[in-house]
Amino acid sequence: MKLQTLALAVLVALAGPALAQTAQDTNKADKAQIKADKDKMRADRKAGDKDAVKADKEKLKADKAKRKADRKAARDAKKAAKQDNTTK
């Protein structure tokens, strides 16, 4: 294995967790996106743009599903970590 490749692998292994978002950061970002979608939908509804309201509803639905999936993944990861700690 080349030294450069080995150095890159070590760098990625050490920096990966530091660069990854935590579950709380992801949840906050999802909440903010949902709030922004709701505000945009209200503005479009007030302006009378039915097509935009329909598109906003679909985006809101997708964002809610993403948040639900992220929360489930975080719970599963936490449960797995807890289970690993108890088996040691």
Domain ranges of the chain: 22-87
How large is the angle between the packed helices 23-47 and 50-87, nearest 10 degrees?
170
- Quick one: pLDDT at residue 19? 47
pLDDT tens sequence across 3-37:
667 566 655 555 555 445 677 788 889 999 999 99
Is this prediction's pTM over 0.75? Answer: no
Asked if 32 and 67 count as a contact pair (C-beta separation under 8 A), the reply is no
